[in-house]
Amino acid sequence: MQLTRERIIAAAMELIEREGVDAVSMRRIAAQLDSGVMTLYNHVPSKSALLEGVAEQVMSGIDFSLDPEASWEDQVRALARAFRHALRAYPRCAMVTVSRPATSAAELRTMEQALTLLRSVGFGEEDAVRVVRMFIGYIVGSLLREVGVAPGLVPQRPLGQDQSVLQADRVVGLDPSEFPLVTGMSAELMQRDHDADFEFGLNLLVHAVSELRPARAK
Amino acid sequence: MQLTRERIIAAAMELIEREGVDAVSMRRIAAQLDSGVMTLYNHVPSKSALLEGVAEQVMSGIDFSLDPEASWEDQVRALARAFRHALRAYPRCAMVTVSRPATSAAELRTMEQALTLLRSVGFGEEDAVRVVRMFIGYIVGSLLREVGVAPGLVPQRPLGQDQSVLQADRVVGLDPSEFPLVTGMSAELMQRDHDADFEFGLNLLVHAVSELRPARAK
DNA sequence: ACCTGAACACCGTTCAAGT
DNA sequence: ACCTGAACACCGTTCAAGT
């Protein structure tokens, strides 16, 4: 089968999801595709360009279809959920995506869509940008934690079977007198309904933003 | 001069800030400390343990001193700012920090402090955890973008002089008919007052959380 | 146009050996 | 207790050579 940029990106994404970014090497991808290492370079200029392709692939998974009948708050919610949904489809690839500058068309489309929505309901340029950034910050930050790589205690079953990740469950073993709440609430902290948590924060944000709007809208 | 864990971590942090995480290698750190590579392993068990040390160092920079006279909203704000402040002191090391599970005492202390504050003003266990996570999500997500590695358009002068980062300025060159707002607002999008942006979102969040509280407080 | 092996300048870490 | 060089099994990428 012919080697293509698409197949190479797909192989990289598979490998990232299965073993993590650190396991990705041009040599391993080539092996997986039954080709020589150097063959990859006929379709992809470098490893970092390949990872950029992965990022673009992840972001192109965002479903932008909005219900124009819905309230603008619901449209904001839908957009935020679509972003989150695309990232969650490939959690480890999503980490790669949010760890590099956004330059691809797929990434900019998200920004464009969000700005359009906010401008259309009366937000000024400056506030529109700030609100979008706040939502992106929240969505990305939540996902980082959820995937188990950010502050806030490691939350769930690890994605891989690496011991390095498994050992993260050691909230037990903390000094309860130093961390009474963390130890006492470890059940709360460890096993979470991430979707419910996300909706909780999303509602707070939408509510906050919705209170902000009328004051500035013409 | 004697080699110590502290000196090794400090050298790693310097290297990370100057050239980025990818430039960090045990060999380069050793060279910088005028020692053999293997000497490092007498003080640090592995490279990944070394990076965990970096993360702990970053998190230990959080200043937890709160004014007990202040309103709880102001205390929440102060805590959020202290977290952000510590991360911004070493932006590239902060990226390393938020990219790995939080297990160190310094990291857990942040969670403990935040939970204590929220519980003391009447939030239930579940809401306290959710609120803290929302703030962490926002702070971390904002910083990711601000440092220039997350979606939302590359914002500022790159930290290093690498061409790979410099080329990120190419919002010019986009098709204005496809991205009218992004291209039209590129000035807004590119040069930002990050502190003002952060305070903007922080205020919205605090306001949202403050509206949530009375409904549940006893 | 597409493929490729050899080679180069790097990695992290094990091990056996030094003081 | 602390240090270290050689060696091993890896990297990404250049280059010259093949079809």
pLDDT band (50, 70, 90) for residue B152: very low
B97 CA, D4 C1': separation in Å?
31
Cβ-based contacts of A137 with chain B (< 8 Å): 137-142, 144-145, 201
B192 pLDDT exceeds 50?
Answer: yes
B186-190 mean pLDDT: 62
The reply to whether the CB atom of residue A31 sits less than 7 A from any atom in nucleic acid chain D is: no
- Mean pLDDT value across residues B180-203: 79
- Between A104-113, B27-36, B46-55, the lowest mean confidence (pLDDT) is in A104-113
Q: What share of chain B is helix, strand, coil (3-state, %, to 5)?
A: 70, 0, 30
Q: What's the rounded mean pLDDT across residues B89-112?
A: 82
Other Cβ atoms closer than 10 A to B163? 9
How much is the average pLDDT of A103-109? 75
pLDDT exceeds cutoff 60 at A166 = no
Ranges of H-type helices in chain B: 5-19, 26-32, 47-59, 72-89, 91-98, 105-120, 125-146, 163-166, 180-184, 186-190, 194-216
pLDDT, tens only, A33-86: 999 999 999 999 999 999 999 999 999 999 999 999 999 999 999 999 999 999
Q: How far apart are CA B165 and CA A52, in angstroms?
A: 13
Please count the residues of chain A.
Answer: 218
* Interchain contact, B129 vs A211, CB within 8 Å: no
From residue A123, give the alpha-carbon distance in Å to each of A16, A126, B208: 39, 8, 19
Q: What is residue A163's predicted lDDT score, i.e. its pLDDT?
A: 34
pLDDT tops 90 at residue A186: no
Q: Tell me which of A37 and A154 has the higher pLDDT.
A: A37
- Can you say whether the dihedral through the CA atoms of B109, A162, A62, A59 is positive or negative? positive
Residue nearest to nucleotide D15 (CA to C1'): A38
Residue found under tokens 């160190």: B104
